[in-house]
């Protein structure tokens, strides 16, 4: 890489031309007067003139521009109509050329984008890569593009580095630094994390120079300085083409020579200039293009280049590095003024003000701008105007700019043009901002409009300008209206930006969308909505009356899975495994999130393909867990209905589960396996082979990890409870597939936790396995409350018991008893400090299990407050032995004996179900009762009847058959002795 060239080293003509001799002499005298003699200041000042002289004398006409500058766009339109070049070289990524023809199908502003989801040759953490080049109506490059594409015989050649070289030549940290601050408005994020590429990146490269210019120019930010000292003078109709070029060359050279001489950014800039001049010489050599018939459009910073490759006669020593193996996708995405300002560090509202100034400049200078034929959002012109708009033939009087004299001296010595105050325009602004402020909630009045008008003139006078600029008016409006109070969501500064043109948001037309986006629009056409319109639209789907809307529902659910939040939001209806709604309501904002939909099209040609690719990427990624793979299985079944993909991902889940050595994902694994099992059991004749293998493998896997998880301090009690939930809930299926229950018993026996919550969880597991009785568990809880050293840790034991409701839900009554005993036995001085810990422990660790505990407490405790005083907890009621109940011989008939004769139809129905055909007998006939084999069976085996009565909740006592009274169910047994025999055979072990 060559450094800056010395004076007199140019190859394009004499070492020093006489065109700027007078200006050189004046600058030498000024340098001697200010510095007291020749020094570095003289070298800098004369170097500026040399740069301008070199660029002006270049045979290939260089047109320096600044991005989104109305003055540059006006000068470009004027020069194109005058020169009519046959070749236009444009500073834009060369691989973006095929997309420019699609601009006519879009509403500006939009951005040309290069996107790469999978990288090859770059670090993986950079992915995805994105490069955007925003284009607005007030851009000089848009004028060049519109002229080249709509004028027959004109060739447009993009000469800047490719998107691949953008990342080859720069670092992510520097790109992030150039991106500016994070935007506040939602529209400012339209470009996302893309790297911006613009023409005319013209701004001082170090803070000292920019601060000096802002302080002495009496402005707040760079955009205002550029508007006041460059836009206004160059936008004047008196500024001809030669003056414009020389002034822009001078500004570019000034910022270039005062920038730091080292750094990665300077290296990248010089490489870009070598790249562009190399490409232009290659094109001219291949096509035989005459430099006089071509125009080179580039930023003013690059126009004043000093590299050896500069010019058509420059050296050919630069070698373009090859591209990496990254596959790039190209498309157009919506852009906005706020997105451009945020990405390139411009002041808020500056692009909107530039668009307004562009429209005013066209009216003032009567320059007819170029516009692509069929451009969306353009006003249709009449046939008469269309004829007048035809470009004129170049006149012989149009001499090449190389013969132009020194226009720079006259421009620099000319006093500033004193613009007359446009009172009508300023008055209109003042009235409009007061009206907008009233709508936004401000207490603004006519007096405020007058104050804004006068304050704008006052501020402009204090800043040495006769005509207030939009920035002066903005400051005056904030001062006079806002008064440090913002009643609504918009402040006055934002209201002024909206009034000056607002944040115009572009739109990509249907024809310019990728195939996936067009397919989505076509498949959602039955909804009858304007999907490209920005904002939220409500879609109502009644699949019962319109079955064709089921396909739209499928698309919407997939978009909800793939697109950002808010793109497709269900209001009514849900989709779960095995469930489909017959009516749905959606809020759609596809037009607002058009960029995300377009980038989705870079990944495939249909949303089904993209969803399958993402599911595979999630499942086979390096950070994939068992829960992640099971989630992919569920999504594949839910959204795609693909049994093939679900089986493939389920088989992969087995491999991932076998490699896991932690229990972090156990709760999610348990939840998803239960969901999939419930779905397959209700919708499939047999379970898939992979899920049977998963249950079998998971049973052995979690049995192996269980002792370690109980001792591991990093394993939460909820994760261990999920492991036990998997083992206990899947035990029946696992044992049927060949697993051994002894493995679980050994794992529980080898577990020795130290944490109180895990200890309680272990006790619950032992109760479920039968190695610990409920009476022993209650006794251990009582011992904890009796030990004053353990009482402070009792909430943690309760937390373990609550988590135990996941694997052992039958312990809900024991947990309620444990909590109730604590509140009943602990004194207030112990309970009150202990209560907040209990609440926070249960809320943080077992919030999802609290409803089960509350339902059990509601079942046990009385439902009315007045019954609470006389209520006795069931765990304090002494149990009644069956023998004691049989010892009583009461004469009163139990409830069942009176109910059955009153409703014989019920007994006949039950007897018919059981196949009994005997006739009714008499309750008062003891001999008939004893003659029945069922009565003899009851007398011989009273335990069977006691067990049935306990299951039915009956508390009746036994009575002798001779007395004529029977226990609960005795009448039925006397009438149908076969029933008693059947029950006896079922309850033989009781």
pLDDT digits (tens, 9 = 90+) for 912-960: 777 777 777 665 554 444 444 555 666 667 777 777 766 665 655 555 5
b/e sequence 632-661, b meaning 16+ C-beta within 10 Å? bbbbbbbbbebeebbbbbbbbbbebbeebe
Distance of alpha carbon 645 from alpha carbon 627, whole angstroms: 16
Residues 113/117/121/124 CA torsion (nearest 10 deg): 130
Residues paired with 195 in a beta bridge: 131
Tokens representing 399 are 């001499």
With helix as H, strand as E and coil as C, how does 320-364 read? CCCCCCCCCEEEEEECEHHHHHHHHCCCCCHHHHHHHHHHHHHHH
Please give the Cα distance from 231 to 219 (Å, whole number): 14
CA distances from 109 to 11, 336, 413, 566 (A): 41, 6, 38, 23
Element (H or E) spanning 168, and its range? Answer: helix 163-168
Written as six digits, the tokens of 547 are 């079955």
Phi, psi of 827 (to 5 degrees): -70, 165
Chain length of the chain: 990
Q: What's the pLDDT at 262?
A: 52
DSSP helix/strand/coil, 892? coil
Q: State residue 126's pLDDT score.
A: 81
φ and ψ at residue 242, rounded to 5 degrees: -65, -40
Closest CA to 212 of 248, 255, 245: 255
| Helix/strand/coil percent split, the chain, to 5 | 60, 5, 35
Cα 271 from Cα 161, distance rounded (Å): 9
- Closest by CA to 100, choosing from 150, 64, 167, is 150
* Residues 71, 236: Cα–Cα separation, whole Å: 8
- Average pLDDT of adjacent 10-residue blocks, the chain of 990 residues: 37 50 57 51 67 85 86 88 92 89 88 86 82 86 91 92 84 44 48 64 58 69 72 67 83 73 71 89 91 89 83 83 87 84 77 81 84 71 40 41 57 59 82 89 88 89 79 87 77 81 78 89 91 89 90 93 91 88 91 88 89 92 91 92 91 91 89 92 90 92 92 89 91 89 92 91 92 90 87 85 87 86 81 78 70 81 80 74 52 56 78 75 50 58 71 58 43 45 45
> What is the helix (H) or strand (E) element at residue 67, kind and residue range?
none
The enclosing H or E element of 784 equals helix 774-786
Task: Answer yes or no: are the C-beta atoms of 65 and 297 closer than 8 Å.
Answer: yes
Contacts of 359 (CB under 8 A, 6+ apart): none
* Residue 288 Ramachandran class (φ > 0 left, ψ -120 to 50 alpha, else beta): left
Q: Cα angle vertex 619, ends 618, 622, to 5°? A: 75
Q: Which pLDDT score, from 0 to 100, does residue 246 have?
A: 83
8 Å CB contact between 103 and 171: no
Q: Which of 279, 323, 325 is nearest to 298 (CA)?
A: 279
Q: How far apart, in whole angstroms, are the C-alpha atoms of residue 559 and residue 579?
A: 19
Contact 255, 203 (CB under 8 A): yes
- Of 837, 959, 821, 798, nearest in space to 894 by CA: 959
How many CA atoms lie less than 13 Å away from 149 in the CB half-sphere? 22
Please tell me what DSSP assigns to residue 401: G
Q: How far apart are CA 249 and CA 246, in angstroms?
A: 5
Q: Are strands 195-196 and 155-160 parallel, antiparallel or unpaired?
A: unpaired
Q: Is the pTM of this model over 0.75?
A: no
């Amino acid at each position: 890489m060559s450094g800056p060239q010395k004076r007199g080293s140019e190859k394009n003509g004499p070492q020093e031309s006489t065109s700027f001799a007078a200006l050189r002499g004046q600058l030498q005298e000024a340098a001697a007067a200010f510095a007291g003699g020749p020094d570095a200041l003289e070298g800098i000042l004369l170097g500026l003139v040399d740069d301008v002289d070199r660029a002006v004398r270049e045979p290939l006409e260089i047109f320096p521009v600044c991005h989104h500058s109305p003055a540059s766009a006006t000068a470009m339109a004027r020069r194109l109509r005058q020169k009519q070049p046959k070749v236009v070289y444009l500073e834009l990524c060369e691989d973006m050329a095929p997309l420019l023809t699609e601009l006519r199908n879009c509403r500006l502003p939009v951005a040309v984008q290069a996107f790469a989801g999978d990288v090859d040759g770059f670090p993986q953490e950079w992915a995805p890569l994105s490069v955007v080049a925003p284009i607005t109506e007030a851009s000089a490059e848009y004028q060049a593009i519109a002229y080249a594409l709509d004028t027959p015989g004109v060739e447009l050649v993009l000469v800047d580095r490719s998107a691949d070289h953008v990342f080859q030549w720069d670092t992510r940290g520097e790109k992030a630094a150039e991106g500016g601050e994070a935007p506040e408005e939602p529209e400012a994020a339209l470009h996302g994390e893309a790297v911006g590429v613009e023409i005319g990146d013209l701004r001082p490269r170090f803070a000292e120079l920019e601060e000096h210019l802002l302080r002495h120019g009496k402005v707040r930010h760079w955009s205002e300085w550029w508007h006041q000292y460059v836009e206004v003078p160059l936008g004047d109709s008196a500024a001809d083409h030669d003056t414009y070029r020389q002034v822009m060359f001078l500004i570019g050279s000034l910022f270039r020579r005062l920038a730091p001489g080292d750094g990665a950014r300077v290296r990248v800039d010089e490489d870009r200039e070598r790249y562009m001049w190399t490409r232009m010489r290659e094109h001219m050599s291949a096509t035989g293009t005459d430099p006089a018939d071509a125009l080179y459009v580039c930023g003013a910073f690059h126009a004043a280049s000093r590299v050896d490759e500069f010019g058509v006669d420059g050296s050919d020593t630069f070698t373009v590095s090859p591209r990496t193996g990254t596959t790039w996708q190209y498309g157009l995405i919506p852009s906005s003024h706020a997105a451009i300002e945020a990405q390139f560090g411009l002041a808020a509202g500056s692009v909107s003000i530039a668009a307004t100034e562009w429209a005013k400049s066209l009216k003032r200078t009567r320059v007819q701008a170029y516009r692509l034929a069929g451009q969306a959002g353009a006003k249709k012109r009449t046939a008469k105007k269309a004829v007048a708009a035809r470009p004129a033939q170049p006149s012989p009087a149009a001499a090449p700019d190389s013969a132009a004299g020194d226009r720079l001296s006259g421009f620099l010595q000319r006093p500033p043009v004193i613009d007359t105050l446009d009172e009508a325009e300023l008055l209109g602004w003042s009235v409009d901002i007061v009206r907008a402020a009233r709508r936004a909630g401000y207490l603004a009045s006519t007096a405020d409009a007058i104050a804004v008008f006068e304050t704008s003139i006052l501020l402009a006078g204090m800043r040495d300008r006769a005509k207030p600029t939009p920035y002066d008016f903005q400051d005056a409006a904030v001062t006079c209206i806002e008064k440090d109070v913002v009643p609504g969501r918009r402040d006055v500064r934002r209201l002024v930006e909206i009034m000056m043109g607002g944040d115009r948001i572009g739109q990509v037309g249907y024809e310019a969308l990728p195939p996936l986006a067009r397919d989505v629009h076509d498949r959602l056409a039955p909804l009858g909505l304007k999907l490209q319109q920005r904002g939220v639209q409500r879609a109502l789907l009644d699949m019962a009356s319109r079955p064709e809307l089921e396909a739209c529902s499928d698309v919407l659910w997939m978009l909800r899975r793939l697109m950002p939040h808010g793109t497709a939001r269900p209001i009514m209806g849900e989709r779960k495994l095995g469930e489909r709604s017959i009516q749905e309501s959606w809020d759609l904002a596809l037009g607002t999130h058009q960029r995300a939909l377009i980038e989705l099209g870079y990944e495939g040609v249909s949303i089904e393909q993209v969803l399958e690719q993402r599911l595979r990427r999630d499942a086979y990624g390096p950070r994939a867990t068992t829960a992640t793979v099971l989630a992919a299985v569920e999504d594949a079944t839910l959204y795609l209905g693909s049994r093939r993909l679900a089986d493939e991902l389920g088989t992969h889940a087995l491999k991932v589960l076998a490699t896991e050595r932690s229990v972090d994902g156990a709760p999610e694994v348990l939840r998803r396996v239960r969901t999939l099992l419930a779905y397959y059991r209700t919708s499939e004749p047999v379970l898939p082979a992979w899920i049977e293998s998963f249950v079998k493998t998971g049973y052995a896997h979690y049995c192996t990890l269980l002792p370690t998880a109980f001792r591991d301090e990093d394993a939460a009690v909820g994760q261990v409870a999920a492991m036990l939930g998997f083992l206990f809930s899947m035990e029946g299926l696992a044992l049927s597939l060949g697993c051994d229950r002894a493995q679980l018993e050994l794992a529980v026996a080898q577990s020795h936790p130290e944490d109180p919550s895990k200890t309680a969880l272990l006790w619950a597991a032992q109760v479920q396995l039968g190695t610990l009785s409920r009476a022993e568990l209650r006794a251990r809880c009582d011992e904890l409350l009796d030990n004053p050293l353990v009482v402070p840790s009792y909430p943690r034991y309760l937390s373990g018991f609550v988590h135990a409701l996941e694997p052992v839900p039958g312990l809900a009554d024991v947990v309620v008893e444990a909590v109730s005993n604590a509140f009943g036995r602990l004194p207030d001085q112990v309970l009150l400090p202990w209560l907040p810990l209990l609440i926070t422990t249960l809320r943080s660790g077992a919030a999802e299990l609290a409803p089960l505990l509350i339902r059990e407490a509601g079942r046990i405790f009385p439902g009315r407050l007045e019954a609470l005083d006389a209520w006795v907890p069931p765990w304090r009621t002494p149990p009644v032995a069956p023998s004691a109940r049989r010892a009583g011989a009461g004469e009163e008939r139990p409830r069942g004996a009176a109910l059955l004769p009153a409703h014989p139809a019920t007994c006949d129905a039950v007897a018919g179900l059981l196949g009994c055909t005997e006739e009714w007998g008499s309750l008062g006939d003891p001999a008939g009762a004893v003659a029945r084999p069922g009565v003899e069976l009851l007398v011989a085996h009273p335990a069977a009847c006691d067990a049935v009565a306990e299951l039915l909740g009956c508390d009746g006592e036994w009575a002798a058959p001779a007395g004529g009274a029977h226990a609960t169910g005795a009448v039925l047994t006397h009438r149908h002795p076969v029933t008693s025999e059947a029950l006896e055979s079922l309850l033989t072990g009781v």
